[in-house]
Structure 1
Amino acid sequence: MASVIAQRGLARRWWRSGRVGRTAALGMLFVALGLLVALPTAFVALQAIFPQLNHGSFAHPLAAIRSTLTQSDTWPLLGNTLRFGVAVALASIALGVPLGALRGLTRLPAARLWDLLFLAPFLIPPYLAALGWMLLLQPHGYLQQLAGFDLGGYLFSFAGIALTMTLSVFPVVYFAVSRALMSTGGRLAQVARVCGATPWRAFVRITLPLAAPAIAASTLLAFTMAIEEFGIPSALGARAGFSLLVTSIEARFSDWPIDLSGAAVLSALLALTALAAFIAQRRLLAGRDFDTQTGKPVASDPFELGRWRWPVLLLFGAAAFCTTIAPLGAIVATSFVRTLSGGLSVSNLTLAHFAAIASMGEGAGALFTSLGLAAATAVLTGTMGFLAAWIIIKTRTPGRAALDGLTLLPHAMPGIVIGVGLILAWNLPFWPITPYNTWAILLLSYSCLLLPYPVRYASAALRQIGGSLEAAARVHGATEARVLWRIVLPLVAPPLAASMMIVFAVASRELVTSLLLSPSGVQTASVFIWQQFEQGSIGDGMAMGTLMLVISGAVLALASFWTRRLVLLCHINARAIYSRTGRVPSLHEP
C-alpha cells in the first residue's frame, strides 16, 4: 500500500513538473498556428468585409460583398463550381465503385499492380496530367499523329474537363470501397445466398450497405478535391470558355485591375462550400456506419471470376491506361522529343531538354528551390505535427481541442484561399518585418496546406501506444522531455517519417500558391513547368515534370520501404529486450 501511494505521489510530482513545459509548448504552437492558419483565414474574412483594409481603412463595410454578389458572373461561377464538383463526384462513383467492388470481393489477377497503377494519379500533379492530355488529344497531338484524328473538341469542353478531373480523383473512391469490402469480406453475402437470396439482392441488401459510409465519404472528398483544384480548370477551361471560382480568384489577382476585395469574397464563398462538404464527410465517417454483430471475424475466400476474368481485366486495363499510362506516356515522350511536329520517331529523340535543366540555368534553380522548400516544409510540419499530436492525444492540457481544430482547418481550406489569405495578411504597410515577396512566404503557404498530414499520422500512431512505457519511465525518474525524446518519438517515428516524405513529395510540386506567392527572382519547379508551357518551350517543361515525377516516386517508395523497416526493427528490438530482461529497460541504461 505504501509503495502504491509513493508511486502516485511521484506521478503527481512528475505531472506538475511537466505542466510548465506543456503549457509553453502549447503556447508556441498556438503562436505558430496563428501565423500559419488563423491569420490568413482571418484576413480573407476581414478583406471581404472591409474593402479598404489594404489601405488601412475600415470604411464602407460589406460594400465589397454586396457589389461582388450582385455582379452578373458571380452566381454562374458558383453554379459552374457546384456543377463541376457534382459531375466529378458522380463520375468517380460510376468508375470507382465497380472497380473497388471487384478489387475487394474477387480474386483479381495482378491485384497489387492495379493498385499501384491507380495510386499513380496521386503522384502525377493534376495540372501536369492536364498538360499531358492536351499533348495527347489536341489537334496535331500524339493521337492525331498515330491514329489520324484528334479529340481536342471533346477535351476542351465541360465534359472533357470533368472527365480529366475524374481520372485524377476517382482513386479515392476506388481505394475506400475496395478496402472497406476487403475488411468486411463476402461472407455475409454468401450466407444470404445460402438463405435463398439472388447474387444481386445479396449485393444490394448486404454488401452495399456495409460499404455505403466509405462510398459517401470518399465521394464528398472527390467533390471537395474537384472544386479546389486549380490546374485542370485553368489549363483546359480557358479554351473551353469555362470558368470556376478558383480560376476567377486567380484572375482577380493576376489581371489588371487587381480586385483584392472581390477575390476575398469569392475565396470566402469557395471556402464555405469546401468546408460544408468537409463537415458532411466528417459526420458521415463519425456516426453513420454499419456494424456486424457476428463475434470474431472469420475470413472468407474472394469470389472467383471464372468466365468474367478477361472482361474484368480489360476493364481494369482500360481504366489504368486512361488514368496513368496515357498522360504519363505523353509527358515522358514530350521530354525526349526535339519538336512536337517531328513526331515519335528515332531521329526526333533528344536529351537536350534535360541538358538544359542540368546546365545550372533557370530550370536547375527552380528544381533546387522546390527541393529545398519541400525539405524545409517537411521538417517544419513534422516537428509541429508531432508536438501538436502529442499534446492533443497524450495530455490533458486545456486548449488542446482548439489546437486540434486549428491543425484540421487547412485540410478544409482550398489552396488558393490560403494563398489569398497570406497575400492579404502580409502585404500591409504596418508590419515592421514581413515574409511577403521572399521565399519564406512560400514556406508558410506549403506548411499551412500540408500540416494536417503529420498531425493525423502522428495522432493515429499515438493512439496505438499504451501508457505502460511512459509510466515505467516515470517510475525510473525520467523527465517528461526525456520520455518524449527516448520513448514516444521512436515509437511514432515510422508513420511520422512517412508523412514527412509525403509532405516533401506534395510540396515539391505545389502550383496554385506558388503562382500567387512566388517573389521576383524565385521560381519553383511547378511555376517553371507552367510558364514553359505558356511560352511554347513544352519540351523543357515536360523534362522538368518527368524529373519531378521520378523524384516524388522515389521519395514515396523510400517512405514505404523505410516505414516497413522501422516497424520491423521496433518489433525485433522489443522482443530482444523482453526476452533478455523480462521488463521495460530504464531510460538511464545505455
Structure 2
Amino acid sequence: MRIKRTGTFLALLLLAVLVVLPLLWVSFKSIWINGKLDLLAPIRTVLEKDLTGVFSHSLTLGIGVVAGSTLFALPLAWLMAKTPLRKHRWLDIVLLIPFMTPPYIGSMGWILFMQPRGYLEQLFPGAQWISSHFFSLFGMITIMSLHLFPFLYLILRNAIIQIGGNKEEAAAVHGASFMYTMRRVMLPLVFSSYVMGALLIFVKTLAEFGTPATFGRRIGYFVLTTEIQASISSWPVDFGKATSLASLLLLACLVLWYVQSVVVRRHSYNLVGGKGSREKIVGYRGWQQALAWLYVVLLLATAIGIPYFSIISASLMKLRGNGLAWTNLTLHHYGELLTWGSPSMKALMNSMGLALLAACLAVALGTWFALSIGRAKRLPQRITDMFSLLPNTVPDMVLVVGLIMVWNAPWMPIHIYNTYGMVVLTYVVFFLPYTVQYVKARNGQLDESLRQAGQVFGGKPWYVFRRIVLPLLLPGMLAGWMMTFTISLRELVASLMVLPPSMQTSATYIFAQFEQGQLSLGMAMAVVSVALTTTLLLIVNNMNSNRKWNAQ
C-alpha cells in the first residue's frame, strides 16, 4: 500500500511539472509585469497593441463554425438515427474521415480547388463567380465546419437514439403534429447534448491553428493562435504579447468548459432506465429516400471529395500551368519524395523517429499514471486523473507556449529547448491523455479476483503484474501507442513552434512547400502521411476488435 501511494505521489508530481506548471507559468507571466502583479495586464496588452480585432475575429469564427457545423450535423444525425439510413453503419466510418484529416491539409485542398484558375474553374469554367466569393470569412467558416461537423453529428445521433420511440408515440397519441413533437419533445431532450457538442466545437475552433495559418492568412483574417505563433516564431520575439494572448485564450476556454458543465447539469434527462424502450423508425417514400441520400452524398462529396481530389491531383501533376489533363499526370513526385537522402525523405524519417520515441514514452508514462489512478477512489488519484486530462482540455498553442517558457527558463536545471528532446517532450505531453484513458478503461474492466488468484498461488506483486495484469492491459497500451504515433506523425503546431531550425518533419515540410508554392511535393507528402496514419489506425481497430485480446 505504501509503495502504491508513493507511486501515486510521484505520478502526481511528474504531471504537475509536465502539464500544470507550463499552464500556470503562462498565466503568471501574463500578469507579472516589471516585478509587479497586474491582473489586468493581459487585457491592457491587447488594447495597447491593438489586438482587439484578433480576439473578436476568433470569437466570430467560433460562432460561425458552430452554426455551420449545426447546419451540417443536425439533419444528418436525425437521418442516421430515425430513418432506414441508420442500417448503413459504414457511413459512420466514412463520416469520420473529415475529422481525422489534419485541418491544414484539408484547407490546402480547398485552396487548390477554389482559387482563381483552380480545379473548380478548370472543371467548370462558368463557376468563376463561386471562387471569387469563396476566399472570405464565409469560406473559412465552411472549411472548418466541414472538418468539425462529424464530432457534433456523433453526439447528436447518439442522443436521438437514446430518446427512443415511446415519447414520440405518446405525443402522437395526444394529437401532436410532427413539427410540434420535434419542437416540444425532441429538441429539449437533445439540448444538453447539443450544447456540450457546440461548446466543444467552439473551443476547438478557438484553439485551431492549421486552417487559420493557411486559409486565414491568405484572406488576411488573423486569430489568436496565428498571432501567438507569429509572436514567438518571428523576429522580434514578443513573449509578453504571446503570454497575454495565450492567457486570454486559456481563460476563454475554461469559462466555456464551466458554462458547458452548468448547462449539461441543469438540462440533462434520464433517458435510459430499467424499462425497455422501442425504437421508432420513420419510413419515407421514394422521393424522400432519394432526397435523404442526395443530402448524404453531397455532404460527403463536399467534406471529403473536394479536398482529397485536390490533394491527390496536385501530387500527380507534372506542371501546374498545364492544369488537369491525363497527359499532365506523373508519379515522379512520389519517387522524389521517397528517394533516400532527399529532404522530403529526411523529413518523413524525422517524423517517424520522433513519433516512435514519443509513443514509447507516452505509453510507459500513461500506463504508470493509469495504474496510479486505478478506480480513482482517493483524492490524490482523482487529482492525478484530472491533471492527465488537461492537455485535451486546453488549446495546444497555450500549452506549447508554456512548455517553451518553462524549459527555456534560466532556473530550469535541464535545458532541452531547441533540441530534439524538446520535440519529443511536447508530443508526449500533448498526447499523453490518449494512453491514460485507454489503459485506465482497460484496467477498470479487470476484476480484482485475477490479482488475488495470482497471490493465492504464491505470486509476488511484480510477477502477478508481469504475467497477469500486463498481458490484459496490452490492448489498451497498444491503442494508446498507435494513437500517439499516428497523431505525432502529422502534428503541426508543436513541430512549428519547437523544432530546431535545421530540422523538418512531414507536417512542417508540407506547410513549407505550400508556402513556397512547390505544391506537388507537399501534396505527395500529405497523401503519404494520411495513407500511413489511416493504415495504422485500421490496424489498431482490427487488433482491438479481435477476440483473442479480450479478457475472459
TM-score class, shorter-chain normalisation, is over 0.9
- Of 219, 224, 233, the residue aligned with 1:245 is 224
Q: Which residue of 2 aligns with 1:404?
A: 385
Q: Which amino acid aligns with 2:450?
A: L
Picking from 284, 303, 308, the partner of 1:305 is 284
| Structure 1 residue 264, shift from structure 2 partner | 0.5
Contact 1:156–1:237 (CA under 8 A) maintained in structure 2: no
- Corresponding residue number in structure 2 for 1:170: 149
Secondary structure of the corresponding residue to residue 410 of structure 2: coil
The equivalences for 1:72-111 within 5 A come to 73-108=50-85, 111=88
Q: Which has the larger radius of gyration?
A: 1
Query: What's the CA shift for 1:386?
Result: 2.4
Is the Cα–Cα contact under 8 Å of residues 104 and 211 in structure 2 kept in the other structure? yes
Alignment counterpart, residue 120 of structure 1, candidates 88, 97, 106: 97
Q: Structure 2 counterpart of 1:445, which letter?
A: T
Q: State the alpha-carbon separation in 2 of the partners of residues 299 and 265 from structure 1.
A: 53
Give per-residue Cα distances to partners, 1:409-439, cap 9 Å, x unaligned: 1112211111211221122334443111111
8 Å contact from structure 1 (residues 338, 349) kept in 2: yes
> Is 1:274 matched up with 2:253?
yes
Q: Does 1:444 align with 2:425?
A: yes
Q: 2:326 aligns with which of 346, 351, 356?
A: 346
Does the 8 Å CA contact 1:104/1:180 hold for their aligned counterparts? no
| 1:389 shift after superposition | 2.2
1:423 to 404, 410, 418: 404
Number of the residue aligned with 2:307: 327
> Does residue 354 of structure 2 align to residue 373 of structure 1?
yes
Cα gap change, 1:500 to 1:194, in 2 (>3 Å): farther
| Residue aligned with 2:10, SS | helix
Larger mean Cα displacement after TM superposition, 452-461 or 503-512: 452-461
Correspondent of 1:218 among 187, 197, 209: 197
The one-letter code of the counterpart of 2:93 is L
Confirm or deny: 8 A CA contact 1:105 1:302 kept in the other structure.
yes
1:44 correspondence with 2:23: no
Superposed CA offset, 1:53-76 (max 9, x none): xxxxx4786795364133252222
Q: Distance in 1 between matches of 2:272 and 2:369?
A: 36
The AA in structure 2 aligned to 1:47 is: K
Task: Compute the displacement of 1:206 (Å).
Answer: 2.9
Letter in 2 for 1:125: P
2:212 paired with 1:233: yes
Task: Provide Cα deviations, 1:306-337, integer angstroms capped at 9, x if missing partner.
Answer: 23100000001111111111101111111111
- Residue from 223, 234, 242 that aligns with 1:255: 234
Letter in 2 for 1:37: V
Q: Is the contact made by 2:76 and 2:153 (CA closer than 8 Å) also made in structure 1?
A: yes
- Is the CA contact 1:44–1:421 (under 8 Å) kept in the aligned structure 2? yes
Segments of 5+ residues of structure 1 without an aligned counterpart are 1-18, 53-57, 575-590
**Contact kept in structure 2, 1:216 and 1:281, CA below 8 Å:** yes
Aligned counterpart, 1:153? 132
- Relative to structure 1, the CA distance from residue 184 to residue 109 in structure 2 (aligned partners, 3 Å threshold; closer, same or farther) is closer
Q: Does 1:179 align with 2:158?
A: yes
Match of 1:316 in 2: 296
Aligned to 1:265: 244
Residues 342, 267 of structure 1: alpha-carbon distance in 2 compared, 3 angstrom cutoff: same
Superposed CA deviations along residues 356-378 of structure 1, whole A, max 9, x for unmatched, are: 21112111111111122222222
Query: Following the alignment from structure 1 to structure 2, what is the Cα–Cα distance between the partners of residues 373 and 196?
Result: 63
**Is 456-465 or 314-323 further displaced after alignment?**
456-465
CA contact (8 A) 2:372 2:381 kept: yes
- Whether the 8 Å CA contact 1:68–1:262 is kept in 2: the answer is yes
Amino acid at match of 2:347: A
Distance 1:181 1:497 in 2: 33
**Aligned partners of 1:286 and 1:79: how far apart in 2?**
29
Matched, 1:135 2:116: no
Which residue number in structure 2 is paired with residue 584 of structure 1? Answer: none
CA contact (8 A) 1:22 1:397 kept: no
Distance 1:492 1:66 in 2: 47
Judge conservation of contact 2:42–2:245 (CA < 8 Å) in 1: no
- Which AA in structure 2 matches 1:32? L
Amino acid across the alignment from 2:53: P
1:539 and 1:47 map into 2 onto residues whose CA distance is: 43
- Could you say if the C-alpha distance between residues 478 and 180 of structure 1 is closer, same or farther in structure 2, counting changes exceeding 3 Å? farther
Distance in 2 separating the partners of 1:538 and 1:347: 18
The answer as to whether partners of 2:12 and 2:380 remain within 8 angstroms in 1 is no
**Cα drift, residue 189 of structure 1:** 1.5
Identify unmatched segments of 5+ residues in structure 2. none
In the other structure, the counterpart of 1:580 is none
What amino acid is aligned across from residue 217 of structure 2 in structure 1? A
**Aligned partner letter, 1:498:** A
**Residue in structure 2 matching 1:362, options 332, 343, 354:** 343
Q: 2:7 aligns with which of 1, 20, 25?
A: 25
Describe the superposition over 1:486-507 as per-residue Cα deviations: whole angstroms up to 9, x where unpaired.
3444334334422332222211
Q: Is the 8 A contact 1:47 1:424 kept in 2?
A: no
Q: Is the contact between residue 104 and residue 185 of structure 1 (CA under 8 Å) also seen in structure 2?
A: no
Residue 504 of structure 2 is aligned to residue 504 of structure 1: no
Q: After alignment, is 187-196 or 58-67 more displaced? A: 58-67
Is the CA contact (8 Å cut-off) linking 2:229 and 2:497 kept in structure 1? yes
Residue deviations 1:289-316, cap 9 Å, x none? 2113763324435322323100000001
Shift of 1:270: 0.5
Task: Using the TM superposition, give the Cα deviation of residue 531 of structure 1 relative to its aligned residue in structure 2, in angstroms.
Answer: 0.3
Distance in 1 separating the partners of 2:536 and 2:45:
44
Q: Contact 1:457–1:496 (CA<8 Å) still a contact in 2?
A: yes
The whole-number CA distance in structure 2 between the counterparts of 1:247 and 1:470 is 51
1:581 match: none
1:396 to partner: Cα distance: 4.9
Structure-2 separation of matches of 1:63 and 1:93 = 35
CA distance in 2, matches of 1:279, 1:125: 28
2:123 is aligned with what amino acid? Answer: L
Q: Matches of 2:39 and 2:194 in 1, distance apart?
A: 40
Question: What is the one-letter code of the residue matched to 1:116?
Answer: I
Equivalent pair of 1:114/1:316 in contact (CA under 8 Å): no
| 1:137 and 1:152 in contact (8 A); partners too | yes
- Provide the C-alpha distance between the structure 2 equivalents of 1:254 and 1:420, rounded to a whole number of angstroms: 11
Please say if 1:532 is aligned against 2:513. yes
Give yes or no for contact 1:138–1:152 (8 Å, CA) kept in 2: yes
Equivalent residues of 1:136, 1:327 under 8 A apart: yes
Q: Shift in Å at residue 511 of structure 1?
A: 0.7
CA drift of 1:192 comes to 2.8
Q: Percent identity?
A: 31
Give the distance between the partners of 1:510 and 1:404, measured in 2 at CA.
Answer: 24
- When residues 298 and 397 of structure 1 are mapped into structure 2, their CA distance, relative to the original with a 3 A threshold, is closer
| Partners of 2:315 and 2:333 within 8 A in 1 | yes
Equivalent-residue separation in structure 1 for 2:61 and 2:213 (angstroms): 13
* CA spacing shift, 1:204–1:471, aligned 2, 3 Å: farther
Alignment partners' CA distance in 1, 2:37 and 2:194: 46
In 2, the alpha carbon distance for the partners of 1:381 and 1:281 equals 29
Contact in 2 for aligned 1:104/1:177 (Cα 8 Å): no
Describe the shift of the 1:288–1:66 C-alpha distance in structure 2 as closer, same or farther (beyond 3 A): closer
